[in-house]
């Protein structure tokens, strides 16, 4: 008798639960579809210059890393893969998937670098890992031939080395190159893949642009002549 009551009660509870759950989900289904509108805060943009701090989290590691003399890249090798200084470098090794954009495949080695046994070299680090369509600009080199004979007057790379870009003896060198897509200084100027001549001795000073300023205004060339003030004071007799 008692057993039967318990079983009936059990089914009653299951039934009630079913009604409740079914009702709840039915009511939910009646609600209008709604997408919460998230207002973009006014400061959601970042100035283009913010790139300078991008790799600052590993700056101290760079400082403490000894130089692997046997696998250093040379500046010649650095420029050899570029048509002219500032041009996107070509890919000097075979790529696995011809149909891929690059993206994660490339970034596996080129986001944070590291030694690649196969090529016996350190992978260079990209200054713009957020741009994942790598092969839009970087292409492989599949032949050394040219289609027709070709003369290209290659722009000489800026001179680097002690004192080359310093205005005063020993003063911090100015940046002799454009910064577009290369605002992240540490990606090219620190770490084991960096050519010796352009390796910074003090990567832990992450606010690079405190001391190093661009040589020309990179962003907009403004004709300021129309704004020029006439100097009265210097017009002495």
Partner 1 sequence: MDQSVTNRRSFIKKMAMLSAMTAAASMFPGILFASEQEKGIPKGANLDWKKGPCRFCGVGCGILVGTENGKAVAVKGDPNSSVNKGLLCVKGYHQTMCIQSKDRLKHALVKKNGKYVETPLAEALDIVANKMKTTIAQHGKDSVAMYTSGQSTIPEGYVASKLMKGAIGTNNLDCNARLCMASAVTGFLTTFGADEPMGCYEDIDHADYFITWGNNMAEMHPVLFSRMLEQKSRRDVKIIDFATRTTRSSTASDRSILFEPQTDLAIANAICYEIIKNKWVNKSFVEKHCNFSKGITNMGYGLEDNYEFTDKPEKINFEAYKEFLKDYSPEKVSKYSKVSVMDIKYLASIYGDPNKKVVSYWCMGVNQHTRGTWMNNLIYNIHLLTGKISKPGDGPFSLTGQPSACGTAREVGTFTHKLPHGVVMNQKDRELAAKIWKVPVEKIPSKPTYHATEMFRAVDRGEIKFIWTQATNPLVSLPKTGRYRPAMEKESCFVVVSDVFPTPTSDVADVILPAAWHIEKSGLYGNSERRTQHWDKMVEAPGEATADAWMFIEVAKRMGYGDLFPYSKENHVEEIYNEYRQFHEGSKHGMAPLEVLKKESGAIWPYVEGKSTQWRFNAKYDPACSNGEAFHFYGKPDGKAVIWQRPFEDAPEKPDAEYPFWLNTGRVIEHWHTGSMTRRIPVLHQAMPNAYVEFHPDDAKALGVRNGENIKVTSRRGYCVLPASINERGLPTKGQVFVPFFDENMLINDVTLDAFCPISKEPDYKKCAVKVEKA
> H helices then E strands: how many in the chain?
5, 2
Tell me the DSSP string of 90-147.
PB-S--S-TTS-SHHHHHHHHTT--EETTTTEEPPPPS-TT---GGGT--B---S--S
- Residue 217 phi/psi, 5-degree rounding, is -75, 115
Residue 12-51 contact track with partner 1, rule CB under 8 A, x = bound: -----------------------------xxx-xxxxxx-
Return the residues of window 49-68 that contact partner 1 according to CB under 8 A. Answer: 49-50, 52-53, 56, 59-60, 63-66, 68
- Distance of alpha carbon 78 from alpha carbon 59, whole angstroms: 22
- Distance of alpha carbon 56 from alpha carbon 5, whole angstroms: 71
Rounded to the nearest whole angstrom, what is the least distance from the CB of residue 149 to partner 1 in the complex? Answer: 39
Residue 190-219 contact track with partner 1, rule CB under 8 A, x = bound: -----------xx-xxxx-xxxxxxxxx-x
Return the residues of window 70-99 that contact partner 1 according to CB under 8 A. Answer: 70
Q: Which is nearer to partner 1, 65 or 87 (CB)?
A: 65
Residues of this chain that bind partner 1 (CB under 8 A): 41-43, 45-50, 52-53, 56, 59-60, 63-66, 68, 70, 115, 120, 162-163, 166-172, 174, 201-202, 204-207, 209-217, 219-222, 224, 227-229, 231-237
């Amino acid at each position: 008798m008692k057993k039967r009551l318990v079983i009936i009660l059990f089914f009653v509870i299951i039934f009630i639960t079913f009604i409740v759950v079914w009702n709840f989900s039915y009511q939910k289904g009646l609600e209008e579809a709604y997408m919460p509108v998230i207002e973009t805060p006014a400061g959601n943009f970042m100035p283009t210059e913010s790139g300078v701090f991008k790799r600052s989290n590993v700056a101290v590691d760079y400082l403490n890393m000894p130089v692997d003399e046997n696998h250093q890249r040379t500046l010649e090798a650095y420029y050899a893969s570029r048509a002219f200084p500032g041009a996107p470098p070509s890919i000097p090794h075979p790529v696995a998937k011809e149909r891929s954009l690059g993206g994660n495949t490339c970034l596996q080695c080129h986001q944070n670098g590291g030694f690649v046994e196969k090529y016996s070299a350190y992978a260079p680090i990209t200054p713009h890992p957020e741009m994942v369509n790598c092969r839009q600009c970087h292409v492989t080199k599949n032949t050394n031939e040219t289609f027709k004979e070709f003369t290209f007057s290659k722009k000489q790379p800026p001179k680097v080395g002690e004192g080359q870009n310093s205005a005063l003896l020993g003063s911090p060198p100015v940046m002799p190159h454009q910064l577009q897509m290369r605002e992240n200084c540490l990606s090219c100027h620190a770490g084991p893949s960096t050519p010796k001549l352009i390796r910074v001795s003090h990567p832990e000073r992450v606010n690079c642009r405190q001391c190093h300023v661009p040589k020309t205004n990179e962003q907009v060339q403004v004709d300021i002549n129309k704004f020029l003030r006439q100097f009265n004071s210097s017009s002495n007799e």
